[in-house]
Structure 1
């Protein structure tokens, strides 16, 4: 009995060594397998596609995303791609990235900003995007489908940055939500120093509203302007910035033609 116990302990030690060896060998081959999978052509980007873009070419977007066929699929980071593209392309609002690991296809779904108005400053015209960013200078306001925006207080206009008046980004956001059928009837928008916007229509009438309430007030503006126009009133200003009854002032009483 005295010799049996060491023998059992010896066998136990041998079994533990075999288990450790087996674990090391298994881990090694698993590591080799993972490396083989990561480096396999099956885990490489085989093609890149872009959808949703209208103003910017597919090649420019892919270049800004810093993606290329042959790179590892595991290197495709959606958040990093969006950051790179939106930083390089001011017209792009966001980018959704979808990676198909079975086919190696990476798809970039682009959501572009769009021009909603022209900003007039010192006789120069600048295109405004829906978030209030100045896209760039344009040679003339003639022939463009967007209203011209002027502001009471402004500063230096810099392409790629928000327009200098603090109310313009909110105005642009409101314009981006307006029905095209309404917006095409607006020729000019004047912003005052109190957060009000005066919209001048092609029919000669105008309407004043708080900037943040423009979209909400469209039905009221439409109804009021149509009412005064249908009753034979001469063009004037309808103020819907307060509650009803809404004030109407003909332009000749203000000494202004609008």
Structure 2
């Protein structure tokens, strides 16, 4: 029995040695890999690959790429791991035109800034300049000196609650109806301080009020489809909904003149 035990242990010795050798080899490989990784990390952080190479801006129309880059604080050459993407995006949303922003790392060392701007809803005529009005009612201190054609022109408005209410009502209209509006004039009356006169791109004039603007103007295409396109005039949407041609208005004025002469 004793001899058999001795033989059994002797047979196991080579296996134990082999197991220890494999374990030592694995530990050596791990240490070498870790050392190599550290060397590569040092080389990487010292190489141009760890520094911002290019920065691209996407989605901007109202804000220049130069302004966005300046506000983002991102610059070519800075360490990419020193860039806080969330903080950078938050800085960009402080620009009045920006609704939201995302900053993405484009492998290996470039950044892409994607911005979502507030929509342009109208223009405000002020000091012979057409200023851009955003969907939240904010008036930008920039615009154009030529008459705009890509959004309605507002006349007679001030930068106050009435303007914001007007933009809110305008935003509730379907896009196809918004595109039909050329001008919106605020023409207060004794009976309605929110009275509007609209000039449409299809040649009609509309009398309305801010109070029920989106509710009534939503039906504008349906109303126009029932009219004779050869006869232009005023579509009154203040109380009900009726149409009077310019010819009939001219006739009414002539009749009033004849009566006064008599």
Q: Work out whether the TM-score is over 0.5.
A: yes
Shift of 1:168: 4.7
**Residue in 2 that maps onto 1:128:** 133
Deviation at 1:130, TM superposition (A): 1.8
1:205 aligns with 2:206: yes
CA gap of 1:173–1:14, structure 2 versus 1, over 3 A, is same
CA distance in 2, matches of 1:9, 1:51: 64
SS of equivalent residue, structure 1 residue 184: strand
CA RMSD of aligned residues (A): 4.7
Q: What is the DSSP-based 3-state SS (H/G/I as helix, E as strand, rest coil) of the residue aligned with 1:205?
A: strand
Q: Which runs of 5+ in 1 are unaligned?
A: 158-162, 191-196, 241-245, 253-258
Cα-to-partner distance string for 1:3-41 (whole Å, 9 max, x where unaligned): 524554344234323322221221231243245335431
Equivalent residues in 2 for 1:58-97, closer than 5 Å? 58-74=65-81, 79-87=86-94, 89-95=95-101, 97=103
Alignment counterpart, residue 36 of structure 1, candidates 12, 18, 43? 43
CA distance in 1, matches of 2:23, 2:111: 48
1:193 equivalent in structure 2: none
| 5+ residue gaps, structure 2 | 1-6, 189-193, 253-262
Equivalent residue for 2:222? Answer: 220
CA contact (8 A) 1:174 1:214 kept: no
The answer (yes or no) to whether the contact 1:170–1:211 under 8 Å persists in 2 is no
> Where do 1:109-120 residues align within 5 Å?
109-113=114-118, 114=120, 116-118=122-124
Tell me which residue corresponds to 2:175: 177
Q: Distance in 2 between matches of 1:76 and 1:218?
A: 51
CA displacement at 1:219 relative to structure 2: 1.0
Q: Which of 11, 16, 19 is the equivalent residue of 2:23?
A: 16
SS at match of 1:201: strand
Task: Give the structure 1 partner of residue 3 of structure 2.
Answer: none
The one of 242, 247, 252 aligned to 2:241: 247
User: Measured at CA, do residues 70 and 164 of structure 1 come closer, stay the same or move farther in structure 2, by a change above 3 Å?
Assistant: farther
C-alpha distance in structure 2 between counterparts of 1:90 and 1:18, whole Å: 62
8 Å contact kept, 1:116–1:175: no
- Structure 1 residue 237 and structure 2 residue 236: aligned? yes
Query: What TM-score does the superposition give when structure 1 sets the normalisation length?
Result: 0.59
Q: Which residue of 1 is the match for residue 257 of structure 2?
A: none
Paired positions, count: 220
**Offset, 1:239:** 5.0
| CA gap 1:40/1:237 in 2 versus in 1, 3 angstroms | same
SS in 1 for 2:185: strand
